[in-house]
Amino acid sequence: MEIVILLIKVFVVFNVIMGLASICTWVERKGSALIQDRIGANRAGAFVETDVFLLKPVAFVVRWLGILGVINTLLCDAVKAIFKEDFVPEGTSQFMHCLAPFMAVLPVFVSFAILPLAPDFEVMGYHIRPQLATIDAGVLFLLAMGSIAVYGVALAGWTGNNKFSLLGGLRASAQMISYELAMGLSIVSVIVMYGTLDLFEMVKAQSSVWGIFQSPTAWLSFIILFIVGMAETKRGPFDLPESESELVAGYFTEYSGMKFLVFWLGEFAEIALFSAIIVLLFFGGWNIPFVQLPEGAWWAALIGHLVLMTKIMFFCILQIVIRWTLPRFRYDQLMNLGWKILLPIAMVNLMIVAALKVF
Amino acid sequence: MVPVTYYLTLSALMFTLGIVGVVIRRNAIVVFMCIELMLNAVNLSFVALSRLVGNLDGQIAVFFVMVVAAAEAAVGLAIIISLFRSAKSVETSDANQLNG
Amino acid sequence: MTALFFLVALVLLISAVGVVASRNAIHSALFLVGNLMSVAVMFAMLNAHFLAVVQVIVYAGAIMVLVLFVLMLLNIKLENQPALGKLVIGLAGLGGLAFLWMMVPLLQRSFAAIPQSAVDVQGSVREVGKLLYTQYVFPFEAASLLIMAAVVGAVMLAKRRYRA
């Protein structure tokens, strides 16, 4: 029975990742069209007609999905990617070239294992804690995974075997290790604030007041983490590693077909991951303001899960809107922001939080 | 429960590989990596012995070894970069001049 | 548990051999990453959870990324000198074996005499942190000074010198 529960948890977590990533893909495609005053994908499936009476509702749904671009962005893109030629550049190890996309995606997917996705509940006599792995180090595990994520990118840039890929890989790894420091410090200040490493306990501590209002400087940690999140996903104004006007596509220039799709999926999963971390740390997780859900009921857990997903989607959409609004930073501006602005602010913030905790 | 001796044997093997690497490799960065290998072998035996003895002092020692390794990486790589600037190579046999 | 140990030990030894034996320095570095990760798994198996995480953050996440970064920046691929003679490699191997032979009695006698402690130490974040900030607080502060010196030293060494 324990194994069955574990398998169900794995299934649910995997679906949450895939669901969030695919919704983000759709929002990115249609949302960017909305922002740029275009229409966006609206062709595939939009002209499905049928004469069979029973199939009319199906055709109606397909037509609307097509007009909204869902079929185009989710189905057609995937099928196209699967059938494209799988290209490996000359002069690199084929194994390394295949390894890179997985190294880029693995840490993101593994990080989801420790995120609590709903309040704990009891069903059929089993007490279920909707978190795949409960480990002692808790939030530190997220930092560890974040630091491994650099390898996929660096490897992709190196195995591309051309200068643009290598430059993209170098830029990406430099950017990621620079911003990791500020991320670590702001997460440490959150740990000091709650006095625990366990994400589950952190969300429980926010049942009456959201984390962002619990300490006078919590909003500073939130802003730092949000900026760092956008820099770590290498999007938004921080997309120097893949800047198409300078480096073709940066570190994944040489990737095509399914391997490119894996990078693409990892990028959106990472957006969802950072949104989830922000929601769990600062915005109350599954807690609804001024409403107290009963503890232990399965329907309360379901509502909590939906609330959590809604909040996560809000931050995903916010990141996508920022990505399509702001122009790209210059490289020195990027480094100055990371080292001379975010890092000192994060340090001072940590000191303030620690001082408030002690006195 | 795996006996502690297994961990110690593994650590000895790893340490030996590190020594052999330092002796036979001539790329300064690879030599540096072999030193890291040796440090890790020692760390492993520290943690294993910490369990054997039953207190945490060994783990604290590993923490400080990691601190030293991080400092060593920063300075060592800086030295390798300045070696590359003066000798145009990172082979240890090319670093044979006193003035740079 | 024992099966897991032997599996991880195998990965650890193969990757350690890979570090020493591969001609390409970047392959060496990637093998070393595999090695460090399996050491982290070993730490977790020995209940040193905090050290396992720190191992990943510090070694795999910081030191090895720095090494890879330097390797890519300098763009050195193969060692450009002819490989060492078989004689030298053989001698080095013999030296290694001699070293191992020296360790064997040490492993057999010294540690077999110490009884396995009944207390199963848990290297959780709380326990290690408590020890680090009470009994070992002075070395901890000294370590921060060491890192400060290393940062300054690294900047001074890697900075381009302008000849007067």
The 10s digit of each residue's pLDDT in C93-134 is 888 888 888 887 777 776 666 676 667 777 788 888 888 888
DSSP 8-state class, residue C59: I
What's the rounded Cα separation, in Å, for the pair A153 and A250? Answer: 10
State the pLDDT at residue C117. Answer: 67
What's the rounded Cα separation, in Å, for the pair A223 and A229? Answer: 10
Residue C2 resides in a domain: no
User: Closest Cα to residue A288, out of A204, A213, A207, A202?
Assistant: A207
What's the rounded Cα separation, in Å, for the pair C54 and A156? Answer: 26
| DSSP, residue by residue, A51-96 | --STTHHHHHHHHHHHHTTHIIIIIIHHHHHHHS-----TTS-HHH
Contact C68 A157 (CB under 8 A): no
Instruction: List chain A pLDDT tens, one digit each, 359 residues.
Output: 778 888 888 888 888 888 888 888 888 888 888 888 888 777 777 777 777 778 888 888 888 777 777 777 778 888 888 888 887 777 777 788 888 888 888 888 888 888 888 787 777 777 777 787 777 778 888 888 888 888 888 888 888 778 888 888 888 888 888 888 888 888 888 888 888 888 888 888 888 778 788 778 888 889 999 988 888 888 878 887 777 777 777 777 778 878 888 888 888 888 899 999 999 888 888 888 877 777 777 788 888 888 888 889 999 889 888 888 888 888 888 888 888 888 999 999 988 888 888 88
* Cross-chain CB nearest to A150 (options C30, C65, C73): C65
Do residues C67 and C129 both lie within one domain? no
**What is the band of C78 on the pLDDT scale with cuts at 50, 70, 90?**
low
State if pTM tops 0.90.
no
What is the distance, to the nearest Å, from the Cα of residue A110 to the centroid of all Cα atoms in its chain?
Answer: 12
CATH of domain B4-88: 1.10.287.3510
Chain B closest CA to C77's CA: distance in Å?
10
Are C72 and A169 in contact by the 8 Å Cβ rule? The answer is yes
Q: Does B8 touch chain C (CB under 8 A)?
A: yes
* Cross-chain CB nearest to C60 (options A135, A137, A148): A148
What's the rounded Cα separation, in Å, for the pair A35 and A27? Answer: 11
* Cross-chain CB nearest to A144 (options C61, C65, C72): C61
Q: Tokens 């790209």 belong to which residue?
A: A328
State the pLDDT at residue C79. Answer: 54
* Cross-chain CB nearest to C1 (options B1, B40, B71): B1
What's the rounded Cα separation, in Å, for the pair A156 and A253? Answer: 9
Residue C108 resides in a domain: no
Interface partners of chain C (CB pairs < 8 Å, 3 or more) are A, B
Are A203 and A287 in contact by the 8 Å Cβ rule? The answer is yes
What's the rounded Cα separation, in Å, for the pair A142 and C39? Answer: 19
Residue C26 burial (C-beta neighbours within 10 Å; 0-12, 13-18, 19+)? buried
Contact C154 B1 (CB under 8 A): no
* Cross-chain CB nearest to A170 (options C49, C62, C73): C73
Q: Tokens 């609206």 belong to which residue?
A: A42
**How many Cβ atoms are within 10 Å of B27's Cβ, its own excluded?**
23
Chain B closest CA to C120's CA: distance in Å?
6
DSSP 8-state class, residue A143: H
What's the rounded Cα separation, in Å, for the pair A32 and A10? Answer: 32
Residue C112 resides in a domain: no
The secondary structure element, H or E, covering residue A121 is strand A121-123
Bridge partners (DSSP) listed for residue A122: A127
Total number of domains constituting chain C: 2
In the numeric block, which tokens belong to residue B93? Answer: 């046999």
Are A269 and A105 in contact by the 8 Å Cβ rule? The answer is yes
Residue C74 resides in a domain: yes
Q: For residue C81, which residues of chain B lie inside 8 Å, CB to CB?
A: 26, 91, 93
**Positive or negative, the Cα torsion across A131, A132, A135, A139?**
negative
Residue C115 resides in a domain: no
Q: For residue A177, which residues of chain C lie inside 8 Å, CB to CB?
A: 62, 65-66, 69
Domain ranges (residues) in chain B: 4-88
State the pLDDT at residue B40. Answer: 92
**Which of helix, strand or coil describes residue A243?**
coil
Contact B7 C42 (CB under 8 A): yes
Domain ranges (residues) in chain A: 2-40+94-358, 42-83
Q: Does B42 touch chain C (CB under 8 A)?
A: no
**How many Cβ atoms are within 10 Å of A3's Cβ, its own excluded?**
7
Residues in chain A: 359
Give the CA radius of gyration of chain A. 22
Interface partners of chain B (CB pairs < 8 Å, 3 or more) are C
Closest chain C CA to residue A174: C69
Q: For residue C76, which residues of chain B lie inside 8 Å, CB to CB?
A: 27, 29, 89-90
Residue C71 resides in a domain: yes
Are A232 and A309 in contact by the 8 Å Cβ rule? The answer is no
Residue C110 resides in a domain: no
Bridge partners (DSSP) listed for residue C100: none
Range of the domain at C69: 7-79
How far separated are the first and last CA of chain C, in Å rounded?
A: 64
Q: Can chain C be said to touch chain A, i.e. do they have 3 or more Cβ pairs within 8 angstroms?
A: yes
Helical ranges in B25-56 per DSSP H? 28-53
* Cross-chain CB nearest to C39 (options B20, B43, B67): B43
Contact C95 B20 (CB under 8 A): yes
User: Closest Cα to residue A229, out of A273, A199, A185?
Assistant: A273
ipTM: 0.86
Q: What is the CATH number of the domain that holds C51?
A: 1.20.120.1200
Residue of C32, C54, C57 to mutate, testing the A interface (most A Cβ within 10 Å of its Cβ): C57
How does pLDDT run across B34-74, given as a tens digit for each residue? 999 999 999 998 988 888 888 888 888 899 999 999 898 88
